[in-house]
């Protein structure tokens, strides 16, 4: 018996058109290529587990990138190499999380995300009684330790330079090592964003309780540090820079803060100031 069904090739066109109408179009490719964002562990802002990179900043970028058509690559590198890759070699498209400084502003565009309160961290049983940067500089008996590659704004940079000139600073490769040096009595204080210091302790179970042994003291002369993202003028086209500006401004409106609250305990979030 002959079949009255139309040939398959006559059905293919209408079916494909119907399928195209049924599914939403993919997000437009706002970025012309994958965006390279080298990272190093930074509290819960950037979490590195082998080759897996998560945390507040990477997850916020991935969420918005999926919506706005930008793909991000997160190669893991030593912390000391981050600034070199961004400012010198041009291998990095974004630098994050980053504090603002005049040197960086001359080479890249900055998008602020939030502000982090700064504090002097010292042992509770070995208090450093300084209420200002001037008092800290006036007593050469107190020695400090910090992460060499950290930048928390021009005031912080000036304070570190002044302490170095007094031969009172030593340096470590990361905030967890700074905490270990404080615990061992190899330094009297560090100056850092408490949110970074406290979350670094989670990297080592033996240091998890050390947060109860320290105190955080604000210093007059050391304002909150902006935390955000630098966009390279060297490695990116004007169109890609504009797309990333839009994406990062969207992140600053709430996406980053959502992921920040997802990862950080409420006691640590109290040290962060959301930009309005």
Nearest to 38 by CA among 83, 74, 14: 74
Residues 178 and 244 in one domain: no
What distances in angstroms separate CA 228 from CA 34, 78, 133, 178, 200, one per listed residue?
20, 20, 25, 23, 19
- Do 108 and 126 lie in one domain? The reply is no
Would you say 58 and 72 are in contact if contact means Cβ atoms under 8 Å apart? yes
Q: Is residue 21 part of a domain?
A: no
Decide the pairing of beta strands 94-98 and 225-232.
antiparallel
Asked, for residue 6, whether it belongs to a domain, the answer is no
In a domain? residue 29: no
The whole-angstrom separation of Cα 163 and Cα 167 is 6
**Domain-terminating residue out of 189, 217, 245:** 217
Q: Quote the domain boundaries for residue 163.
A: 119-217
- Residue 10 counted as domain residue: no
Q: Could you tell me if residue 2 is inside a domain?
A: no
Interatomic CA distance for residues 88 and 84, integer angstroms: 5
Q: What is the CATH number of the domain that holds 252?
A: 3.40.190.10
Task: Give the predicted TM-score (pTM) of the model.
Answer: 0.78
Q: What is the pLDDT of residue 28?
A: 58
For every one of its 276 residues, what pLDDT tens digit does the chain have, with 9 covering 90 and above?
Answer: 444 444 434 434 444 444 444 444 445 568 999 999 999 988 899 999 998 999 999 999 999 999 999 999 999 999 889 999 999 999 999 999 998 888 899 999 999 999 999 999 999 999 899 999 999 999 999 999 999 888 898 899 999 999 999 999 999 988 999 999 999 999 999 999 999 999 999 889 999 999 999 999 999 999 999 999 999 999 999 999 999 999 999 999 999 999 999 999 887 888 898 886
Question: Is the domain of 64 the same as that of 139?
Answer: no
Please check whether residues 43 and 101 belong to one and the same domain: yes
Residue 26 lies in a domain: no
Residue 249 and residue 124 share a domain:
no
**Please, are residues 39 and 58 in contact by the beta-carbon 8 Å criterion?**
yes
Tokens found for residue 124: 């509770």
**Separation in Å, CA 239 to CA 52, 148, 227, 244:** 29, 34, 24, 9
Domain identity same for 213 and 234: no
Q: And the tokens for 196?
A: 């970074």
Query: Are 193 and 67 found together in one domain?
Result: no
**Per the domain annotation, does 243 fall within a domain?**
yes
The answer to whether residue 12 sits within a structural domain is: no
- Per the structure, the count of domains in the chain is 2
Nearest to 221 by CA among 150, 143, 146, 153: 153
- For residues 157 and 205, membership in a common domain is answered with yes
Q: Are residues 138 and 187 in the same domain?
A: yes
At residue 241, the 3 state secondary structure works out as helix
């Amino acid at each position: 018996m002959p079949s009255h069904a139309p040939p398959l090739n006559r059905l293919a066109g209408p079916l494909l058109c119907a399928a195209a109408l049924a599914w939403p179009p993919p997000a437009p490719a706002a970025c012309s290529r994958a965006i390279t964002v080298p990272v190093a562990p930074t509290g819960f802002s950037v979490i590195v587990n082998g080759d897996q990179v998560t945390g507040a900043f990477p997850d916020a970028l991935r969420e918005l990138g999926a919506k706005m058509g930008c793909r991000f690559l997160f190669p893991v590198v030593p912390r000391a190499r981050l600034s070199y890759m961004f400012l010198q070699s041009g291998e990095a498209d974004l630098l994050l999380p980053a504090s603002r400084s005049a040197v960086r502003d001359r080479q890249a565009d900055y998008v602020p995300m939030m502000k982090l309160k700064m504090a002097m961290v010292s042992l509770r049983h070995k208090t450093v009684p300084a209420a200002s940067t001037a008092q800290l500089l006036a007593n050469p008996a107190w020695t400090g330790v910090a992460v060499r590659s950290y930048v928390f704004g021009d005031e912080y940079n000036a304070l570190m330079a002044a302490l170095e000139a007094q031969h009172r600073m030593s340096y470590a490769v990361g905030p967890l090592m700074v905490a270990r040096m404080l615990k061992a009595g190899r330094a009297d204080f560090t100056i850092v964003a408490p949110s970074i210091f406290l979350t670094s302790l989670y990297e080592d179970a033996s240091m998890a309780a050390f947060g109860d042994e320290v105190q955080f003291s604000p210093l007059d002369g050391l304002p909150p540090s902006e935390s955000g993202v630098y966009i390279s003028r060297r490695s990116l086209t004007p169109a890609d820079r504009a797309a990333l500006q839009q994406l990062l401004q969207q992140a600053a409106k709430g996406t980053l803060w959502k992921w920040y609250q997802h990862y950080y305990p409420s006691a640590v979030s109290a040290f962060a100031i959301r930009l309005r």
